Amino acid sequence: MQRRHILAGLALAATATLALAGCATGAGDSGSDEPAAGDEYGLIEAGTLTICSDIPYAPFEFEGGDNGTGYTGFDIDLLDAIAKKLDLKLSVQDVGFEALQSGTTLASGTCDIGASAMTITDERKANIDFSDPYYESLQSLLVRTDSGIESIDDLEGKNVGVQQGTTGEAYANENASGAEIVQYPSDGELWPAMQSGLIDAILQDQPVNIEHEKADSAYKIVEEYETGESYGFAFAKGEKDELLEAVNGALKELQDSGDYQTIYDTYFAAK
């Protein structure tokens, strides 16, 4: 009989505890009814802007910095400023450029935005939505100073390194007559191949080749090519309209306020 009283008492205590927990949860829920930052954008992780980038590709993206992601560069710093405008944290994932520019990585839901010095092209727009342009670029030809190569017309029989899936590769295929076009996944493989003598030239974005020219006086840019290129941030096709609009708005605010120019000058101002 005493055992039954004890069990009944425990049951009542448990019921009371659950009721109190329910009240506490209800009180907490009233606060959690507030949407997490960025919920309206359909982010991979609430409160965080997750970007995918092919790293390294200095000065646009490379390891370092103090923003908490482990990476820095023009693209990263600009998106960090945009994220702050949207009250979001920034997260960066290193991915291959080919899958990124084809739209595969974005369609898989790996990240919210692709940011990798990506030129806006009609071909890419078939699979990707782009932000407003945020950078105008040239292509360029980097060679050894003692190579005797002075222009793209001197590349016949030479090995010319390009990054796979880029506009630099397309330009080389169209204009480097007689050259052997050698594809690499990223500049992280292109530059060592150049230094070890596996290729005779690199044809790619001017700012990246400028970084190599600065780093080693044994190399120089001999030509630059006006290709009318503009970079844009990339989004999964038809899936991130609200985020795309918000990023464009924040980008314009940064341009109007002069903050964009400050970031730009950090990486591209004449030194």
DSSP H or E run through 242 = helix 241-257
What is the SS3 assignment for 45?
Answer: strand
DSSP 173-212: HHH-TT-EEEEESSHHHHHHHHHTTS-SEEEEEHHHHHHH
Determine the longest span between alpha carbons in the chain, in angstroms.
Answer: 104
Domains and CATH numbers, the chain: 39-134+232-268 (3.40.190.10), 137-229 (3.40.190.10)
Which residues are CB-neighbours of 220 under 8 A, at least 6 positions away? 142, 143, 144, 145, 213
Give the separation between CA 49 and CA 138, rounded to whole angstroms: 29
C-alpha dihedral (121, 168, 259, 38), degrees to nearest 10: 50
Range with the poorest average pLDDT among 2-6, 170-174, 265-269: 2-6
Asked whether the whole model's pTM tops 0.85, one would answer: no
pLDDT digits (tens, 9 = 90+) for 87-139: 999 999 999 999 999 999 999 999 999 999 999 999 999 999 999 999 998 99
pLDDT digits (tens, 9 = 90+) for 214-259: 999 999 999 999 988 899 999 999 999 999 999 999 999 999 999 9
Position 33 confidence tier, pLDDT thresholds 50, 70, 90: low
Residue written as token pair 């506490």: 24
Give the separation between CA 19 and CA 162, rounded to whole angstroms: 66
Q: Provide the percentage of residues in the chain whose pLDDT is more than 70.
A: 85
Q: At residue 211, what is the residue type?
A: E
Which residues are CB-neighbours of 50 under 8 A, at least 6 positions away? 43, 44, 91, 92, 93, 110, 111, 112, 113
Mean pLDDT of all residues in the chain?
88
pLDDT above 90: residue 3: no
Name which of 136, 143, 93 is nearest 115 in CA terms: 93
Region 159-171: mean pLDDT is: 95
Position 270 confidence tier, pLDDT thresholds 50, 70, 90: low
pLDDT digits (tens, 9 = 90+) for 174-223: 999 999 999 999 999 999 999 999 999 999 999 999 999 999 999 999 99
Quickly count: other Cβ atoms within 10 Å of residue 19's Cβ: 10
Give pLDDT, residue 40. Answer: 85
Side-chain-side CA neighbours of residue 10 (13 Å): 6
Range with the poorest average pLDDT among 35-39, 115-119, 148-152: 35-39
| Contacts of the segment 8-15: beta carbons below 8 A, 24+ positions apart | none
Give the separation between CA 232 and CA 117, rounded to whole angstroms: 7
Quickly count: other Cβ atoms within 10 Å of residue 251's Cβ: 21
